[in-house]
């Protein structure tokens, strides 16, 4: 699973050959995990904690195009 970004309270990652809908993983520093849909930036599953989720969503809002391109590369 490539790490896309390392933030203060979490990291953003994506799996190759992953299930739909297109999404990324928020991996909190404390071990919790959440999945976020790329199109809407809505939580699909899990919970990474309020601080990690807020930080991840703020970062993703500014990098959505990059995330969509990476999803297409990893999930042709």
User: Closest by alpha carbon to 26, among 43, 65, 66?
Assistant: 43
Residue 5 confidence (pLDDT): 97
Which residue has 């990690």 as its token pair? Answer: 52
Count of domains in the chain? 1
pLDDT computed for residue 1 by the predictor: 62
Q: Which domain holds residue 36?
A: 3-74
What does pTM read for this prediction? Answer: 0.93
pLDDT digits (tens, 9 = 90+) for 27-74: 999 999 999 999 999 999 999 999 999 999 999 999 999 999 999 999
- CA trace torsion 74, 61, 34, 73 (10° rounding): 0
**pLDDT confidence band for 2 (50 / 70 / 90):** confident
Structure tokens at 6: 């390392």
Q: What is the mean pLDDT of residues 20-33?
A: 97
């Amino acid at each position: 699973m490539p790490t896309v970004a390392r933030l203060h309270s979490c990291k953003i990652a994506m799996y190759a050959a992953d299930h739909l809908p297109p999404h990324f993983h928020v991996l909190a520093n404390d071990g919790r995990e959440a999945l976020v849909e790329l199109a809407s930036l809505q939580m699909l599953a899990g919970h990474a904690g309020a601080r990690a989720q807020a930080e991840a969503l703020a970062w993703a809002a500014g990098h959505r195009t990059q995330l969509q391109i990476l999803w297409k590369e990893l999930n042709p």
